[in-house]
């Protein structure tokens, strides 16, 4: 497969792009609080969501984005809402939340309540709504968590017992999970989607010491688990991608955690570059590169020559605008290891991976996007 130049591209990634989530507007936040307290119905909440998503679509188009999303406005979490849209998966409140740097998230996970399958996933309707409200020529950016991500949840110490009630082996679980993922992706594809983004924190987790709750079997070391996990996550992600329609573009976003402007892990890509960059069968990588937590660009030399990389050099975690020349210099630094034509630019993550959002204003959010666009146009002339 040869690289299609960005000028010719009609499918993400584009030369300037976003990861997908946006700050929730106050009216939407208030509506969700009222819904959770029983003051308004699901239908009334949806009316607010619909209105705010339409407004967001137009703002993205006005900002010059060629691929727009619903901002994940219908979600509380970037990943859990997708998981509990699968049959056999339910929301669960664990003893504690995810441990981020200096902060603990509100508690939430998923567990198994039956055999996993996928019929009528709500994300299909979510996609259709955006599809029906974008302007002609604008692509809908549909994000879903990577299949490896749900394995992290289900293999937590406090969830394994529930998993074993329905699946005697991991192989049986993964087979059903892969089939369910393929089904929802094909359902979205059949409604017109030609690009899917797999959001994936598993690789970012593996570059650092394992987080609490990830079991280390007796007789093994943490390093053993991290090495085995690389192969597991690669295999399940590729199993879902394998056999999808040829005209469906599958990209991935790799993250080290994004909650209320904090992060979960830190470490360079070196440990995961093989197999992530040379064996995962995606078309492009949206990579976190906004701080020294991500290390240097040298691992990019392992990226297959037919793949694209979107450099997440603009942080979504604070509102201060980056120095323009510094970002341009970093793009050219990355180009020492991967062809400049294979590169693009975006924020390092979404602006609101959960409904809390990052500590940044909406004005700053749009200023970041404008900076991404103007730098990309200067560097690549498109």
C-alpha span between 332 and 285 (Å, rounded): 18
- Region of 92 on the Ramachandran plot (φ > 0 left; ψ -120 to 50 alpha; else beta): beta
Mean pLDDT computed over every residue of the chain: 95
Q: What percent of the chain has pLDDT over 70?
A: 98
C-alpha span between 142 and 354 (Å, rounded): 16
> Tens digits of per-residue pLDDT, 195-216?
999 999 999 999 988 887 788 8
> Tens digits of per-residue pLDDT, 333-343?
999 999 999 99
Q: CATH fold of 26-380, please?
A: TIM Barrel (3.20.20)
The first and second tokens of residue 291, run together, are 């701080």
Give mean pLDDT, residues 138-166: 94
Residue ranges of the domains in the chain?
26-380
| Helix (H) / strand (E) containing 290 | none
**pLDDT at residue 313, rounded to an integer:** 98
Asked whether residue 9 carries a pLDDT value surpassing 80, the answer given is no
Residue 139 DSSP code: E
Q: Which of 332, 294, 316 has its CA nearest to residue 371? A: 316
**pLDDT at residue 209, rounded to an integer:** 86
Question: Do 71 and 49 contact (CB within 8 A), yes or no?
Answer: no
> Tens digits of per-residue pLDDT, 104-116?
999 999 999 999 9
Q: Using alpha carbons only, what angle is made at residue 20 by residues 317 and 268, rounded to the nearest 5 degrees?
A: 55
Which residues, at least 6 apart from 105, have a Cβ–Cβ distance to it below 8 Å? 97, 98, 259, 260, 354
Residue 323 DSSP code: P
Question: What residues are paired with 371 via a beta bridge?
Answer: none
């Amino acid at each position: 497969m040869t690289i299609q130049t960005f000028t010719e591209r009609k499918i993400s990634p584009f030369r300037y792009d976003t990861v997908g989530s946006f700050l929730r507007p106050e009216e939407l936040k208030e509506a969700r609080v009222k819904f959770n307290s029983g003051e308004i119905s699901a239908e009334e909440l949806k009316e607010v969501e619909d209105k705010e998503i339409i407004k967001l679509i137009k703002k993205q188009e006005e900002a010059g984005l060629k691929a727009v999303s619903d901002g994940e406005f219908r979600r509380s979490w970037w990943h859990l809402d997708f998981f509990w849209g699968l049959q056999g998966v339910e929301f669960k409140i664990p003893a504690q939340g995810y441990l981020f740097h200096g902060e603990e998230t509100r508690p939430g996970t998923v567990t198994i309540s039956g055999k996993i399958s996928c019929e009528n996933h709500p994300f299909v309707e979510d996609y259709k709504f955006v599809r029906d409200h974008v302007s002609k020529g604008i692509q809908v950016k549909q994000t879903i968590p990577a299949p490896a991500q749900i394995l992290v949840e289900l293999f937590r110490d406090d969830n394994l017992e529930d998993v074993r009630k329905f699946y005697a082996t991991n192989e049986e679980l993964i087979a059903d999970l892969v089939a369910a993922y393929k089904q929802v992706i094909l359902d979205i594809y059949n409604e017109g989607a030609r690009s899917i983004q797999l959001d994936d924190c598993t690789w970012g987790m593996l570059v650092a010491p394992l987080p609490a709750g990830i079991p280390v079997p007796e007789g093994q070391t943490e390093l053993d688990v991290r090495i085995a996990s690389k192969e597991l996550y690669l295999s399940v992600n590729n199993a879902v991608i394998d056999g999808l329609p040829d005209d469906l573009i599958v990209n991935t976003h790799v993250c080290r955690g994004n909650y209320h402007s904090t992060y979960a892990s830190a470490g360079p890509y070196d440990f995961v570059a093989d197999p992530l960059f040379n064996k995962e069968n995606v078309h492009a990588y949206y990579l976190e590169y906004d701080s020294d937590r991500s290390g240097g660009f040298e691992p990019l030399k392992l990226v297959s020559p037919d793949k694209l990389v979107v450099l997440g050099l603009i942080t979504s975690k604070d509102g201060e605008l980056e120095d323009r020349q510094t970002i341009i210099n970093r793009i050219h630094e990355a180009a020492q290891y991967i062809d400049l034509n294979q590169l693009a630019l975006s924020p390092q993550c979404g602006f609101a991976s959960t409904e809390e959002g990052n500590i940044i204003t909406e004005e700053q959010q749009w200023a970041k996007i404008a900076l991404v666009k103007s730098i990309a146009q200067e560097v690549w002339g498109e």
